[in-house]
């Protein structure tokens, strides 16, 4: 009986630990990320903060970007997203933004990469790719889906503050 208990415990620990160690979430959470880039062909500033909520059941993203329109007006966009890691590398969640829009999120996560497909045919669809390196920090590329092709509409670089 003791042998079965040890095998079961080892199996549970193995199944609930990502095969590759830390995911990008662990590397970027609880850091105030501030970045710059472009959004819809205009210079933009960005901020994001990743954390865990609800007894660490979800990773959350608090996000904001700012840009100027061609006539000089400031546009600020805010959003919050909840992400749940399942099956080691699969991610699902929900995005909420200041437009009153809510999107489903699905994607994959690894040590240094998070790829999220967002939206639905009823709203809008796209993908966001987050890449982390210790030397650079986080780079983010945003794409919108239009007629079965992805078009880049935003890029951001968040220098590593550590």
- pLDDT truncated to tens, each residue of the chain (162 aa)? 444 444 333 333 333 344 446 899 999 999 999 999 999 999 999 999 999 999 999 999 999 999 988 888 999 999 999 999 998 899 999 999 999 999 999 999 999 999 999 999 988 999 999 999 999 999 999 999 999 999 999 999 999 986
Residue 6 lies in a domain: no
Cα gap 36→158, rounded to integer Å:
7
Residue 147: how many other CB atoms lie within 10 Å: 5
Alpha carbon 140 to chain centroid distance?
A: 9
In 87-120 the beta strands, taken as DSSP E runs, fall at: 90-97, 102-109, 113-119
Cα gap 19→6, rounded to integer Å:
20
Only one residue has tokens 């497909």, namely 117
Q: How many domains does the chain have?
A: 1
pLDDT at 69: 84
Kindly report the CATH number assigned to the domain that includes residue 82. Answer: 2.40.128.20
Residue 30 lies in a domain: yes
pLDDT at 162: 67
B/e letters for 37-59, b = 16+ CB within 10 Å, e = fewer, are: bebeeeebebbbbbeeeeeeebb
Residue 5 lies in a domain: no
The domain of 56 spans 20-159
Residue 14 lies in a domain: no
Residue 12 lies in a domain: no
Residue 2 lies in a domain: no
pTM to 2 decimal places: 0.85
Residue 127 · residue 115 · CB < 8 Å: yes
Residue 11 lies in a domain: no
Residue 1 lies in a domain: no
φ and ψ of 100, to 5 deg:
85, 15
């Amino acid at each position: 009986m003791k042998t079965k208990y040890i095998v079961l415990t080892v199996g549970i620990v193995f199944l609930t630990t990502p095969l590759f160690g830390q995911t990008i979430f662990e590397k970027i959470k609880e850091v105030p990320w501030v970045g710059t880039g472009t959004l819809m062909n205009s210079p933009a500033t960005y901020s994001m903060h990743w954390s865990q909520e609800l007894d660490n059941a979800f990773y959350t993203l608090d996000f904001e970007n700012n840009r100027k329109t061609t006539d000089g007006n400031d546009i600020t966009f805010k959003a919050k997203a909840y992400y749940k890691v399942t099956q080691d590398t699969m991610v699902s969640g929900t995005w909420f933004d200041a437009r009153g829009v809510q999107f489903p999120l699905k994607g994959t996560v690894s040590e240094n990469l998070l790829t999220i497909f967002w939206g639905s045919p009823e709203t809008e669809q796209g993908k966001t790719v987050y890449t982390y390196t210790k030397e650079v920090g986080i780079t983010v590329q945003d794409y919108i889906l239009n007629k079965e092709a992805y078009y880049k509409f935003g890029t951001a670089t968040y220098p590593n503050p550590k």
